[in-house]
Structure 1
Amino acid sequence: MFEGIQFLNKELFWLLLLLPLVILWYIFKHKKQTAELNISSLKGFKITNSWLPKMKHVLFCLRLIALGVLITAIARPQTVDVSTKTKTTKGIDIVMAIDVSASMLAKDLSPNRLEALKKVAAEFIKGRPNDRIGLVEYAGEAYTKTPITSDKAIVLRSLKEIRYNTIIEGGTAIGMGLGTAVNRLKDSKANSKVIILLTDGVNNSGAIDPKTASVLAVDSEIKVYTIGLGTNGMALSPVAILANGNFQYGRVQVEIDEELLKEIAEVTGGKYFRATNNKKLEEIYSEINKLEKTEIEEFKFYNYEEKYRFLVLLAGALLLLELLLRFTFFRSFV
């Protein structure tokens, strides 16, 4: 019954300090009211042993307990049942455009650029439970891996399946990747639309110019965050395919068109980042996560249940019992 009790007027518990004073007053008063009779002998008196005179202090105990219970009652014990309801007031639609060209297998990030990206992107997706997310992958051409959806299990599964393959035409078509992502978002009714475009190279193929794709993004009110992936200097990258189908690696100069990526971000109201290692890549996605916050409104409902009524009834019952005993069993002694 008293599980999870809290008291509205806790300061009134200071009144419990009155109880020791009441006890002292009772002791002092009892001594003054006790009459003494000195006689030389008890001969001629009939002595009887009765438990009633010894139990008369019970009346005071009942009154004292009743006072303590009343003080507890006026401290307003109550239980509170709190229920919450959240409402997403501003949803964000996000498309992640991921470069899957052969250079994404470079080992300057561990274990390689593509796997490092997939790990960080998965954590980013898990941290956006109220947003819709889609995936676009591109190399020399681009296609939609997953349309924007609120089902994070589908997005995470699709992200896990992304890998380099020879089906997509080779090269790096940044304009195609951005244009495909814009096409996925242009009809979105979300209040905020965002593209995260990641590449480790320069635009060297595709039918759409990146600047044209940027204009399309601006027209559709889409913000683009661009990420240049790769260390500064040389990186161990695929340079040929061996007879057994495995890649032959060699030291290759990292080439990223940073000016283009900066321009795309600036024109669309986004921001450009450079990820030179795994830790920096994690920090970039963490910063984007902070920059693009979904507004969530939380409503709390409080249901208070008062518990003082039982204590008042208990105190009244104790006082009633004291009066009953005082004017019945203890009538001749008090």
Structure 2
Amino acid sequence: MSESQKYRGFDFIGDVHGCAKTLEALLEKLDYRKINGVYTHKHRQAIYVGDIVDRGPRIREALHIVRDMVEHGGARIVMGNHEYNALGYCTRARPGSAHTYLREHTPRHERLIRETLDQFANYGHEWNEFLEWFMTLPLLIDDQSFRVVHACWDHELISQFLEHHPDGLITEDFLHASTVRDSFAGHVMDRLLRGTDMKLPDGMSIRSSDGFVRTAFRTKFWKAEPETYGDVVFQPDALPDEVAERRLSERERRMLLFYGLEEPPLFVGHYWLQGAPRPIRPNIACLDYSAVKYGKLVAYRLEAGDRKLTADNFVWVDVMREAGGAAGR
């Protein structure tokens, strides 16, 4: 019996980012109950799309909840870009490298991981164990009835990756190789964990809502027959009107990926959506609704054998600022 055949259904859960109290509220809303300290469901399995760490107020607690569920078989998880970033930030480069760590300790990188490191300041041994656990997280789940990846499903890259890593796991050598941006390992980690992007025209840059200056914008990997930049943009920060109306060249169209309607349901996180949760397409759902920014922590309930996603199957907990963190984050 396969992993999926054990369960009547699955609950895909979006980016937690240290919102442990919200996660507990969501699991309880989904009818998971603590048994010997571990959240469990009699007939269902939770599947996390990654990004448990960083930004939130209870990162350590969130990691314990998720890892306990995974280790007891009540959940599965794929690696998010924040788990990957943590591995790089905390892993020393090999002798002869121009860097001390795989992910440079720049002010921006330090800012992204600071909450995590601060909350583990008195639990160094635990943090090292979690870093070891991150190396056991697959980059993707390709099931007969659904697929999961943190940011983007790229058929060609995934096929090549699985030829050498059939379990979906990276190795220490792969982690080190991924720091070379134009390497195969670098392409895999960037595409699957961060998504696709397109350069802004004419050397233009835009400032995102978090203050970061960007020279490229994230793109959809499912849009059929797009005509303009606005047809493919997929990020919280809108493009300037003159850029959104710019027509795509044939070369730019060829660069875009396409996840077809005939493919199995795909679940991703990563993209900081807002508003009422709903499918992106009948077979694609993004589950990141900005929980750590007082949005929603979102799950999708998939019944065994379902192929078409509907808005009715989303379940969420609103994160209220006035909750003071207890019920909200």
Which TM class, normalised by the smaller chain length?
under 0.3
Whose helix fraction is larger, Structure 1's or Structure 2's? 1
**Which one has a bigger Cα radius of gyration?**
1
Whose strand fraction is larger, Structure 1's or Structure 2's? 1
With normalisation by structure 1, the TM-score equals 0.25
